[in-house]
Structure 1
Amino acid sequence: MLTIHGVTRSRASRIIWLCHEIGLAFRQIPVIQAYRLADPDAPDAPPNTHSPAFLSLSPAGAIPVIEDDGLILSESLAATLYLARKHGGAVGPADLAEDALMMQWSFYAATSVEPDALTILFLHARTRLQSGEDQALVANAAERLIRPLTVIEEHLATHEHLVGTRFTVADLNMAEVLRYAQGYGELMGQFPATMAWLERCQTRPAFRRMWEARLAEPE
């Protein structure tokens, strides 16, 4: 059985969502980020990214990690693309061309969107007063995202999905990255087709199942 190391409040959410989409059973070991613990090296600390057992799987000390039939993968997008190819059916590629396009969109999400989207996620807090420095960093990140989001918007304005005519792992990977910036209306409101597509992705039963598990975990 597939084993996923990582709490759902991490990039493990991508893998868990995919497993629910394709009906793939898995065992989850809730390894938590070390920075969320007062003393991750304490004898009674829960499994975390500083734990020696976990570091033996991921020397970089980053979650998630999957184990599947002896294969260990420590990058979430590599894991979703791998599992989609192996088990995905309609969610995975039908041929080499689709496989290449799914990689293209996934890598575009990781390289052109995710860094600045994460800045917005961590620094854009609607429930507390932001420092001037945080506001400037968020504004700069949003400005840099205009170009990649325009590319995505132009595609989704004429296509229901990123690849082919169905929901695939490419949509899942991109949706999970764009979720980081989703709460910043000043940016995302400029891209109505992208927001409509993101809503469709997030109303899928498999996403809702993952999200409910994520919310059930402590913050």
Structure 2
Amino acid sequence: MITLYGVCRSRASRPLWLLAECGADFIHVPVIQAYRLKDARAADAALNTVSPAYLAVNPQGQIPAMEEDGLVLTESLAITLHIARRHGGLLGPQDGAEQALMEQWALFAATSVETPALEILYAIGAGGESQPETRAAIAVSAEKLRRPLARLERHLTAHDWMVGDRFTVADINTAECLRYAQEHSALIAEFPKVKAWIGRCQARPGFQAMWEKRLAEPA
């Protein structure tokens, strides 16, 4: 049985979306980020990333983490790839080539997309276009994203989905990393195939179920 630690307002959104898609049974242990609590070390504090009980699972104190049959994973994209291989059916790889492609796109999302997308999210949250400093930061991060987005655009011109011409874990991993930059609508509009693809991903019932739970969590 899978035990998943984390909350939807974290990178746990990725495996939680996948689990909603594949319908695998799992135990969800909500673990909140310590910085979101007034006193994370208080005796009555909610289970969080500095709680001793959670540090016994992941000494690095980050979410998500997953346990299954003695296996512990503490990186969100490794967790999704494992769940997809073991429980995902057509959401996971069907042969060695598909597994390699799904791993490639996960690394692409983590190394080329996520950091500048997060920079955009933070800059928009700090003032966005209304402040010269954040406006400049957004422009720099958007430029970093244009090259990987151009690659995605070319791929999605020939394919509706990332791997195997069907929706898979590769779409979840990449879409969730890119989601951070979606508030920069002008940038996303430069890449119409990417915009249409992420719309298809987020229209899926699995994403909608995860997102509803995310919205219900305290901000």
TM-score above 0.5: yes
* Residue of structure 2 in register with 1:40 after alignment: 40
Alpha carbons 1:124, 1:130 under 8 Å: kept:
no
* Residue of structure 2 in register with 1:120 after alignment: 120
The alignment covers a number of residue pairs equal to: 219
Alpha carbons 2:128, 2:135 under 8 Å: kept:
no
The 1-side partners of 2:129 and 2:178 are apart by 24
The reply to whether residue 134 of structure 1 matches residue 123 of structure 2 is no
Q: 1:126 to 1:44 in 2, by over 3 A?
A: closer
Q: 1:95 to 1:128 in 2, by over 3 A?
A: closer
The reply to whether residue 208 of structure 1 matches residue 213 of structure 2 is no
The 1-side partners of 2:22 and 2:180 are apart by 24
* Residue of structure 2 in register with 1:95 after alignment: 95
* Residue of structure 1 in register with 2:17 after alignment: 17
TM-score of the two chains, using structure 1 as the length reference: 0.96
* Residue of structure 2 in register with 1:153 after alignment: 153
Q: 1:110 to 1:128 in 2, by over 3 A?
A: closer
Task: State the AA in 1 paired with 2:67.
Answer: E
**Moved segments of 4+, more than 3 Å:** 125-131
Q: 1:128 to 1:158 in 2, by over 3 A?
A: closer
Displacement of 1:129 in angstroms is 7.2
Structure 1 gaps, min length 5: none
Q: 1:202 to 1:27 in 2, by over 3 A?
A: same
The 2-side partners of 1:40 and 1:166 are apart by 42
Deviations 1:149-197 (A, max 9, x none): 1000110011101111100110110011111101101211101000100
SS at 2:49 equivalent: coil
The 2-side partners of 1:126 and 1:203 are apart by 28
SS at 2:158 equivalent: coil
* Residue of structure 2 in register with 1:182 after alignment: 182
* Residue of structure 1 in register with 2:79 after alignment: 79
Alpha carbons 2:5, 2:29 under 8 Å: kept:
yes
The 2-side partners of 1:131 and 1:55 are apart by 39
Task: State the AA in 2 paired with 1:47.
Answer: L
Displacement of 1:133 in angstroms is 2.1
Structure 2 gaps, min length 5: none
Q: 1:66 to 1:170 in 2, by over 3 A?
A: same
The 2-side partners of 1:126 and 1:54 are apart by 31
Alpha carbons 2:91, 2:169 under 8 Å: kept:
yes
The 2-side partners of 1:53 and 1:203 are apart by 36
The 2-side partners of 1:136 and 1:119 are apart by 11
Task: State the AA in 2 paired with 1:74.
Answer: T
Displacement of 1:135 in angstroms is 2.0
SS at 2:149 equivalent: helix
Root-mean-square deviation over aligned CA pairs: 1.4
